[in-house]
Amino acid sequence: MDGNGRWAQGRNQIRTQGHLEGLKTAKRIVKAASDLGVSFLTLYVFSTENWKRTAEEVGFIMGLVRQYLREELNFYRENRIRIRHYGDAGGLPSDIAEELREACEDTRHFDGMQVILALNYGGRDEIVRAIRKLLAAGAGKNGEFSEEDFRHYLDNPDIPDPDLIIRTAGEFRTSNFLLWEGAYAEYWITEKLWPDFTEEDFKAALTQFRGRKRRYGGTKV
Ligand code: IPE
Ligand code: MG
């Protein structure tokens, strides 16, 4: 969800206004995805690198996360949406970690779309944490260890790899997002800033995705 800061700067507003507007987009896109029958939607909310920002901006984003989790709970219930988390909960402010834990707990029996919040998430961090879990479990002795075994130690082993990764604000890089899981994800990139991203843009991304030929390194589609 990139481009909130640029959106605000372009209007001579402070960056946090962009995050406020970005939150509205997030709500709209979650609704649209749920209506369209998407099974899993991951929102890259805050990366392990985003702590480099000013304390004011970080605090504001965390406040928005709390607001989002509280305001949307009824919507999740009505639409049977399950909330989940990618990232290191241990590195989050304790009140946010608790709020997130509760939202995941309150919605865990819902069988509709799953919305996964990548919060204090970094692909490298996830892989390193997975290796720590693996070592703690005493796994992989004698070199007997497959990709599938490794996957088991990632944050959400039951969630399928993403089919499509949408990037806004015209950036052509992974930014440490789902490095393992996204190995064969299709990317769709738009110049639009996240606050300007619409349901129509989302549908356009899905339509283009349907036409992509995925060979996974092979030759057959
Ligand atoms: C994305 O917008 C929101 C977060 C990373 C939380 P940015 O804040 O990165 O917006 P730009 O890149 O400065 O425009
Ligand atoms: Mg950015």
Which ligand sits closest to the CA of 53? 1
Dist. CA 86–CA 68, nearest whole Å: 16
**42 is written with which tokens?**
């991951």
Residue nearest to atom 12 of ligand 1 (CA): 3
Residue nearest to atom 1 of ligand 1 (CA): 2
pTM to 2 decimal places:
0.97
* Ligand 1 pocket, CB under 6 A: 1-6, 46, 50, 61, 169
- Estimate to the nearest angstrom the gap between the alpha carbon of 30 and the chain centroid: 12
What is the pLDDT at residue 173? 98
- Residues that are catalytic: 2, 50
What is the pLDDT at residue 143? 85
Specify whether domain 4-210 bears CATH 3.30.70.260.
no
Measure 10 CA to ligand 1 centroid, in angstroms: 13
Measure 5 CA to ligand 1 centroid, in angstroms: 5
Measure 36 CA to ligand 1 centroid, in angstroms: 26
CA nearest to 198, candidates 47, 85, 31, 50: 31
Dist. CA 170–CA 191, nearest whole Å: 4
Q: Which atom of ligand 1 is nearest to the CA of 193?
A: 14
Measure 63 CA to ligand 2 centroid, in angstroms: 18
Q: Which atom of ligand 1 is nearest to the CA of 22?
A: 3
CA nearest to 123, candidates 155, 164, 91, 90: 155
What is the pLDDT at residue 33? 98
pLDDT string in tens for the chain (221-residue length): 999 999 999 999 999 999 999 999 999 999 999 999 999 999 999 999 999 999 999 999 999 999 999 999 999 999 999 999 999 999 999 999 999 999 999 999 999 999 999 999 999 999 999 999 999 999 988 888 999 999 999 999 999 999 999 999 999 999 999 999 999 999 999 999 999 999 999 999 999 999 999 999 999 88
Which ligand sits closest to the CA of 15? 1
